[in-house]
Structure 1
Amino acid sequence: MNKVIIIGHSQTTATDVEECLEKSGMNPPRPSRRERLLPKEITRSLCSAYQIPPAGNLTDEADFQQIPADPLWNDLPLDLTLGNVGQGLWGWADTQAIFCLEYWSSFDSKTVFALIYDEPHHSLSESMLYEAAEPDETRLRFLLDNWTAYNGALLRFFLRNPDRCLLANARQILAAPDFFLSELEKLGSSISPSPSSPNIPASSRSMPPMPKTPALQDALAVHTVDPDAAMTSLRAEAAESFILDHVLSDKTACLQMYDELQANAHFPLPAFKPTADRGAAAWLALIAQRRATCATITQLHNERFLLITQLHQLQEEFEKFYLKDKRWQKPVSISRDGRCSEAADRVKQQLSYKVGKTVVEKSRTPGGCLSMPFALAKVISAHRRQLRKSPGKKLQPIQTSADAAEADRIKNQLSYRVGNVLVKHGAKPLSWLKLPFLIHREYRDFHASRNKVSKPTSRPS
């Protein structure tokens, strides 16, 4: 035996088993030598050629027809085998391979099949959890029918080919992957497997974990130092298991199929033994979920209210100093004392430059974005104190300074341009709504101008 194909109804569970067996010594497949195709790509090509729909779209066991072992396609598995010469034990997981069992088995007598299944509770919960669409009763019935039909086809293949298949509950494999690999090797050597793997506790029933998206993790971290504990509360596993038992209680075909899988499996899952206080545990889990949800929503609302308050304060500061800043920048008459070189420093002392520089610097990190309102308020306050020290000071126009070109260059920097937009429109409440779009346009125009190749111009003689 040198090739293992892992097949199960849930692609997520099959992938978990695949990764677990790889850690225990199974090598992943290499691409085929000539076509550079991986096994899953070969399966997809066969299904496309025979117009086979995705396995998740079928609800009748009779629809899971096997693709015929046509000699036309023999080059594909041969090319794959040549690409994996010297690999030792190698294999892959593929839910869609349920249609290609006869195809793979007829080509190579050394190929063995790891047929895996799980409780309908776990598969149903996983499907509902990771689907984007809103769940409803029609979808629930469809998922259960699909699970029953798929596993029925899997079981029929096992009963026809018991000498080349190991039928096992996925959680048993995950509990003892080394032992399971050794049993697969026995199967490939025509030695009967010995189903004596360590059993997981009969009283446990785990549901798939919630997807840990970064946004969800960040939201939970707002109100607790232990996001994992909050995630567990939101999962309400005890309540879900309790409710699913009642949901499946009248799904006779689904439960009968699971019983058949358990009865024929080399490594069945120990029967679940419900405890007397499951109802109380389910209720407590729902209460913990409700409290975690309320705490998260309340904290997020408080954070939003605080941010809006800070933005209003910032708007008031803009309104107070807008006219003062305009008066401070007002050009005056040209001095007769000669040209000075202070234009660049004067531009950097303007509120537009200070505000824009703060926005650009703080926007580089998430923490900086959160502290930006405080930093801007500090900059405006410091600018106000500076204006009080020299309220009526007259200065030369910037254009008459020796470094006027440097001042123009600073005005074309992103910091000054962004700050100028904020100072110009921040004092008007109606214009405040347009600020994000105006700032985005400044960013776009700035980067567009940097990408242009400037052409040298000849100076007049």
Structure 2
Amino acid sequence: MDKILIVGHPQSGHDTIAHMATAAGMAPARPSRREGLRPDEIGSALCRADARTLLEAPEADGALRQLDIGPVWQGLALDLMLGNIDQPVWGWSDPQSVVLLDYWRTIDPDLTFVLVYDAPDSVLVDMPAAQATQLSPDRLRRLLHNWSAFNATLLRFFLRHPGRCLLVQSRQARHAPQSWLQQLQGRLHGTTPLQTEATVPPPDRLQATDPALTFLTAALLREHPDCQHLYEALQACANLPEAGTAADAPPTPLAAWLALAGQHQDRLELGRHLAEQAHRIDTLGQGLAHRDTLLQQQRQQARQLETQAQASQQEQARLSGQIDHLHRALDTQVQERQQLTTQVQSLTEALQRIECVASGHQAHATRLDLQLRQQSQTLSGREEALQAAQARIGALQADQAQQAQAHQQDQERLIGQIHQIQLNLEAHYLQRQQLNAEVVALKSELQRTGDLAAERQSQITRLNQQLDQHTRRLADQASELDMAATRLAQWQESQTRQEQEQIRQEAARKATEERITRLIQKGDRLQAQMQAQKDRHHARLQEATAASAALAQENTRLVAQIHRVQQELERHFLDLQSLRQAQARAAAAVPPAPVGAAERVRSHLSYRLGATMIQHSGSVTGWLSMPYALLRTTHQYRSEHRARAAVKLPPLHRYRDAQEAERVKRHLSYRLGQTLVRHASTPLGWISLPFALQREVKDFRLQRQP
């Protein structure tokens, strides 16, 4: 089972290297079995337990001090190993593990380290825009100190454990993934191969391709030469250093000026394009307002027709009630007639029975006949009243039929008008759909415009803080305009689906139109402000053009110095390759060589005396106190030498980093101290000592110049 830990500065692109390793076959680390913690969470817990920040307590060489983890915390790492025991090749990436390198090295001897570094300009190039606008000299110094301490820690760990580490340059690793993956395969102990041939690097991060940005970044880094020296040391020791090309030369002031002029022209075109889009949106808003006015008028007509239909329905209901009342009265009269007819039949039958039984009751029969006639007259009057009621009912039915016919005609006319209104609403709905499509197209175009504006703004913000603020405001207004268009589209869609919420949607539409109008007005004001800011920036660029002539001579000197440094790096690289080959040939027979030749040379009396002279040569007080400081340094060295007299150290040429000792011996500190020791043994040497020191400083400067 092989394990890989990828460590790099947060802005070095270590996450991209981890992505490439995952694509080549490295499985991501699973959480631990018991606690369910990922490797980065374990690292965070260990850093919190130490109760200090990442860059506190650096050591003498500028590197970070490794955390001293007690045995009580080793259970977390062992639980993590058990959770990934069935994976043949797995690993993770964690920047904060830079202070836990010794901890992970002692936990598992099969753990392979991939140390990722990048150029110091990545600190400025990959800085967020919000932080770039607030950059100060003190913050720049702290950022570069952060970078130096982080990468010095990686270099020191690599020099101490080269067999378990792979030091790669981030950009070069993305351009040549097969190279470093093959070297990583050679350091793994298992049999599972990595897919080095099929790996395709992911898209590169944003680089300083802008000549103006590159020119300014190089100017800022020239004030911190220690970062460049550390980067050169990383390049000299790396397994995969960055391949230098002619394109790596810093841009000229003229190229920076041309880049700024191109950005200015792009911003002018972007402003014109945004003005055209705002005009188109204004035109569409006016069209929508006109169509909404027509729709409101049609709705009012529909409401009027609806009111008339409701009045007709109420009149029809009133007439129906009257007809029902007449029907009920007619039924009552028919029932009374039936009762009277029944009574007449009963009386007739009684009369017949009386005539048959008692013919002598003539008087009684006459009275009965008289009663019968009276009842017949009453019945005739009731029949006449019934006929009059029937005639009245017929007249009412005729009037009701006429009213029903007229109401039916009104309903047909209302139905025709409602159908026409529905056709108008459907036509308006189609027009709204077309407008929605236009708004969506404008939205996508505005989105692309916003992306272009954001990209330009991310470059311009590094050159001028005020211009970046106005550009971001313009981008924010464009995003707000996009959100307003989206809300308008959503409102229109909900209006077509829910006709019963027309009043609420109309209010929302009016609010959206007012917001669009305010945004357009605000965009016009920002456009005017941006134009004024452009004029001021143009004046500043003209001043910068006048100042760029003074930088031409310095640029020429820097180009020559970079060429000389490149030759020296090539020579150091060839020396390093030869030393590595010699070490590889002697690795089988010779035990592992120690590391720390540079530290031994720095502890020599010559180097310490030279450093003391350089330290006290900056002021008159320092020159006066220099003899006492030299005596104190000599006594301190002799005391330390007597204390470690029993320790037998191997010769310098047996050290693994013996070339570093030779490099330190070429330092001015060592050369001055060696001259002082050589001339201090005789009185004549003390007389010639000032001239010898002056000659040594002159030779050192001549060697450093091209």
Partner of 2:502: 419
Q: Is the 8 A contact 2:144 2:227 kept in 1?
A: yes
1:361/1:44 CA distance change after superposition, 3 Å: farther
Structure 1 residues 343 and 418, CA, compared in 2 at 3 Å: closer, same or farther? farther
Give 1:311 deviation, angstroms: 1.1
Give the aligned residue type for 1:367.
V
Kindly provide the amino acid, as one letter, of the partner of residue 251 in structure 1.
H
Partner residue, 1:238: 211
Classify 1:299/1:368 alpha carbon distance in 2 versus 1 (closer, same or farther; 3 Å).
closer
Match of 1:443? Answer: none
What SS does structure 1 have at the residue aligned with 2:5?
strand
> Aligned to 1:250, what secondary structure does the other structure show?
coil
Matched to 1:258, the amino acid is Y
- CA drift at 1:156: 2.3
Change over 3 Å in CA distance of 1:97–1:352 after alignment to 2: farther
- The offset of 1:93, in angstroms, is 1.2
Match of 2:240 in 1: 267
2:422 to 349, 356, 362: 349
Q: Could you report, residue by residue, the CA deviation over 1:153-185 in whole angstroms, capped at 9, with x for unpaired residues? A: 222222332332222211222233333233234
- Shift in CA distance, 77/357, structure 1 to aligned 2, threshold 3 Å: farther
Residue 31 of structure 1 aligns to a residue whose secondary structure is coil
Q: CA deviation at 1:368?
A: 7.3
Is the Cα–Cα contact under 8 Å of residues 6 and 93 in structure 2 kept in the other structure?
A: yes
Question: What amino acid sits opposite 2:109 in the alignment?
Answer: S
1:334 paired with 2:417, answer no
- Tell me, what secondary structure is at the counterpart of 2:241? coil
For the 8 Å contact 2:214–2:250, the answer to whether it is kept is: no
Counterpart amino acid of 1:243?
Answer: L
Shift of residue 119, structure 1, vs aligned partner: 0.6
Matched residue, 2:89: 89
- Equivalent residue letter for 1:334: S
Structure 1 segment 163-242 matched on structure 2, within 5 A: 163-188=163-188, 208-209=205-206, 237-242=210-215
Cα deviation for residue 19 of structure 1 reads 0.8
Q: Which of 219, 224, 231 is matched with 1:251 structurally?
A: 224
User: Is it true that 1:433 corresponds to 2:430 in the alignment?
Assistant: no
Contact persistence 1:357–1:416 (CA under 8 A)? no
Residue 267 of structure 2 corresponds to which residue in structure 1? 293
Aligned residue pairs total 353
Match of 1:381 in 2: none
Instruction: Confirm or deny: 8 A CA contact 1:158 1:165 kept in the other structure.
Output: yes
Residues 58/137 of structure 1: CA separation in 2 closer, same or farther (3 Å cut): farther
Aligned to 2:133: 134
Moved more, 57-66 or 137-146: 57-66
Contact 2:7 2:14 in 1 (8 A): yes
| Contact 2:214–2:251, Cα closer than 8 Å, also in 1 | no
Percent identity over the alignment is 28
Check whether the contact 1:59–1:142 (CA below 8 A) recurs between aligned residues.
no
Change (3 A) 1:321 1:358: closer
Task: Evaluate the alpha carbon distance shift between residue 109 and residue 432 of structure 1 in structure 2; reply closer, same or farther with a 3 A threshold.
Answer: closer
SS at match of 1:433: helix
Q: SS of the counterpart of 1:329?
A: helix
Cα distance, 1:287–1:28 mapped onto 2, change above 3 Å: same
Question: Larger RCO: Structure 1 or Structure 2 (Cα < 8 Å, ≥ 6 residues apart)?
Answer: 1
1:24-103 matches, cutoff 5 A: 24-53=24-53, 55=54, 64-103=64-103
**Structure 1 position 45, deviation (Å):** 1.8
Note if contact 1:351-1:419 (Cα within 8 Å) is conserved in structure 2. Answer: no
Residue 299 to residue 50, structure 1, CA distance change in 2 (3 Å): same
Superposition map of 1:106-145 within 5 A:
106-129=106-129, 134-138=133-137, 139-145=139-145
Answer with 1 or 2: which has the greater Rg.
Answer: 2
5+ residue gaps, structure 1, are 190-205, 211-234, 372-410, 437-461
Secondary structure of 2:26's aligned partner: coil
SS in structure 2 at match of 1:64? coil
Aligned mates of 1:14, 1:364 — CA distance in 2 = 44
> Aligned pair in 2 of structure 1 residues 11, 82: CA closer, same or farther (>3 Å)?
farther
The alpha-carbon deviation at position 8 of structure 1 amounts to 0.6
- Find the counterpart in structure 2 of residue 105 from structure 1: 105
**Alignment-mate amino acid for residue 433 of structure 1:** E
- 142 and 353 in structure 1: CA distance in 2 versus 1, 3 angstrom threshold: farther
Q: Give the match's secondary structure for 1:242.
A: helix
Q: Equivalents in 2 of 1:365, 1:12: separation in Å?
A: 44
Counterparts in 2 of 1:13-32, with a 5 A limit?
13-32=13-32
* TM-score, normalised via structure 2 length: 0.43
Output the aligned Cα RMSD.
4.2
Moved more, 153-162 or 239-248: 153-162
Q: What one-letter code is carried by the residue in structure 1 that aligns with 2:276? A: N
Shift of 1:52: 3.9
Q: Distance in 1 between matches of 2:50 and 2:421?
A: 70
1 or 2, which has the higher helix percentage? 2
Aligned with 1:304 (options 260, 268, 278): 278
Instruction: Report the CA distance shift for 1:249/1:159 in structure 2 as closer, same or farther (over 3 A).
Output: same
| Aligned partner letter, 1:266 | N
Q: Unaligned stretches of 5+ in structure 2?
A: 190-202, 317-403, 445-493, 518-706
